[in-house]
Structure 1
Amino acid sequence: MAQQLNDIVLVPTDFSEICQNAINHGVELAEYLNYKLVIIHVINRETKSQLKKADLDVSAIADKLNDIANDIREKSRISVETITREGSIFNEIHEAASDTGAKIMILGTHGKKGLQYLVGSHALKVVTKSPVPTIVVQDKSFDKGYKKIVFPINSFTEARQQVQWAMHIAKTFGSVINIFREPHTDPILAGKLNVVTSQIKEAFDKNNITYSIHDAEKSGNFAEKMIEYATAEKADMIMIMTDADIFSPNFNAGAWDEKMMFNKDKIPVMCINPVMTGKVYYEYITLI
């Protein structure tokens, strides 16, 4: 049986400025989609240590969440719910996403810091193991939505799943999809890339999606070139798949994902777990 999905944006917080940026982004997204906003804090050892130093008990966490929710209610028309859980950040965030049936999660980060000091591969773990797509944000506001999306592809791209999400987002926000292709000197890989590109073009044309295709320069790091391109195009979002299985055996997916998520130009990055997409989202829902 498919997971029950609800019109919910989930935002984890550790009450830092970084996570407040994510909450603000989540509020604007929920307003645009007419979704409910759910804010979660996971009480772990770090939380308990901070509470002990301040001579407070765990009820202070609920009070703080309520203050945030009430402030949102005063300024916005959206429905807001807060929840606390105790245990591992990784497990509890993922379980909360599943239990609430959230369709999307907003994760705040700055560089490699944010969300209760998650760094590097730890932050990556939250994203790649999430049962829902996650938009990683730094301090860029939602503004008017995701009008310009950069959509990187290579010969290993799982086209069906990434395309499905791109079309959902494009139809919802009236987005233009900028396909950015990794160059290949190997004729076999170049041929595969052309097949992937043709499949994407066919799907976009069939669904009246506005798009353009650009090839990266053959020299230089593809991820860096892609970020440079996204910055030059003033992109509102970069959309990537976050699973090593979609890349070649020699491709360092973790390094790629980190470079994207923590990009210095602070462009929001939508990260999609292809396993999740195949089992739940692709077959059973329309995102928005």
Structure 2
Amino acid sequence: MSRNLYIVPHDLTEVGNTALDYALFLGTHVRTDIMLLHLVDNKAKIAATEAKLWDIVKSKTVPTNVEMFVLVTVGDIFTDINKIANREHAQLILMGTHGAKGFQKLTGSFAMKVITSCDVPFIIVQKETKHVDIKNIVVPIDLTKESLQIVSPAGDLARIFDATVHVIGEKHADEGLSQQTKNRVLLIRNKYDEKGAKCEVNLLPSSGSYSKKVMAYVKEKNIELIALAYHSESLLPQFDNFAQSLITNDLKLPCMIIAAKQSGNLYF
């Protein structure tokens, strides 16, 4: 049976442990390897950092179907995480948002810079993020094909937990935009049927802040994880702020996010 690989960039802070704990939690549900990754600025720091990371591993309860690895290497977080993830064929990167040492205060824009440098989906956690079984995932989309690139990874996660994916968008008074939305919904429903994932679709009123409407929906439906595709050409105004508000949401929920590629046929 093939194994997954999850990478956890760990900066030797508490939020790094939160990201590792969440990866281990996922490892109780899926057969996976977990690589604890730290990038240093010179080789002299490698041995001592490796020892610290192995001490962290030894302090954790590792599920029997999880293999742990440590990699400390010279590199830069904005270029080398992606190279390592691609080289190792990683399925997922789990990262905290408030690490201060090697991760240059990964709050908001810094986290987005790391995410957009990578091809692999992320799950972003905050220090207070809890690991609870995922029964409901929300996927906010817009009218761009790029926004649909999260549909497949969110569906894969949903199947692991037998969760329901809630795909949400906004209603449109314009007939053309309304038809585009209906086409998107049909496409997504067909995709989730193929994957064997449960799906609900809800269109929210067109007025008001989309991020506030998303979070209101999250509270109403008891969502455990938010998933979205980040793309700078989004039709949503101020999408950078929208994405950052979701990865640092006040409910401290984990957020799956992928840097969307320019359209074509990449959206699934």
TM-score scaled to structure 2, two decimals?
Answer: 0.86
Normalized per residue, the structure richer in strand is 2
Q: Is the 8 A contact 2:39 2:102 kept in 1?
A: no
CA-to-aligned-CA distance 1:101-142 (integer Å, 9 cap, x gap): 211110112599994412332210111221211011113233
Matched, 1:174 2:171: no
Change (3 A) 1:279 1:105: farther
Superposition RMSD on alpha carbons, in Å? 3.0
CA deviation after TM superposition for structure 1 residue 276, in Å: 9.4
2:6 aligns to what SS in structure 1? strand
Match of 2:31 among 28, 34, 40: 34
For 1:7, the equivalent position in structure 2 comes to: 4
Q: Is the 8 A contact 2:33 2:67 kept in 1?
A: yes
Q: Is the 8 A contact 1:237 1:268 kept in 2?
A: yes
CA deviation after TM superposition for structure 1 residue 90, in Å: 1.2
CA deviation after TM superposition for structure 1 residue 278, in Å: 7.9
Matched, 1:230 2:214: no
Matched, 1:109 2:97: yes
1:238 aligns to what SS in structure 2? strand
Work out the CA distance in 1 between the residues paired with 2:143 and 2:244.
20
The equivalences for 1:191-270 within 5 A come to 191-245=179-233, 247-248=234-235, 251-270=237-256
Q: Is the 8 A contact 2:148 2:267 kept in 1?
A: no
For 1:272, the equivalent position in structure 2 comes to: 258
1:90 aligns to what SS in structure 2? coil
Q: Percent identity?
A: 25
2:168 aligns to what SS in structure 1? strand
CA-to-aligned-CA distance 1:12-55 (integer Å, 9 cap, x gap): 0111111110010011112321101100111138xx9xxxxxxx
Work out the CA distance in 2 between the residues paired with 1:235 and 1:18.
22
Q: Is the 8 A contact 1:159 1:196 kept in 2?
A: no
| Range moving further from structure 2, 79-88 or 115-124 | 115-124
What is the one-letter code of the residue matched to 1:62?
A: E
Work out the CA distance in 2 between the residues paired with 1:154 and 1:160.
8
| Number of equivalenced pairs | 265
Work out the CA distance in 2 between the residues paired with 1:112 and 1:60.
19
For 1:143, the equivalent position in structure 2 comes to: 132
Q: Is the 8 A contact 1:111 1:263 kept in 2?
A: no
CA deviation after TM superposition for structure 1 residue 281, in Å: 10
1:275 aligns to what SS in structure 2? coil
What is the one-letter code of the residue matched to 2:130?
A: S
TM-score scaled to structure 1, two decimals?
Answer: 0.81
The equivalences for 1:41-120 within 5 A come to 41-44=38-41, 58-72=46-60, 75-77=62-64, 78-110=66-98, 115-120=103-108
Change (3 A) 1:161 1:219: closer
CA-to-aligned-CA distance 1:51-86 (integer Å, 9 cap, x gap): xxxxx95532111011112223x5532211001122
| Range moving further from structure 2, 231-240 or 32-41 | 231-240
Matched, 1:121 2:109: yes
Work out the CA distance in 1 between the residues paired with 2:153 and 2:245.
21
Work out the CA distance in 2 between the residues paired with 1:186 and 1:274.
26
Work out the CA distance in 1 between the residues paired with 2:72 and 2:171.
46
For 2:18, the equivalent position in structure 1 comes to: 21
Q: Which consecutive residues of structure 2, in runs of 5 or more, have no partner in the other structure?
A: none
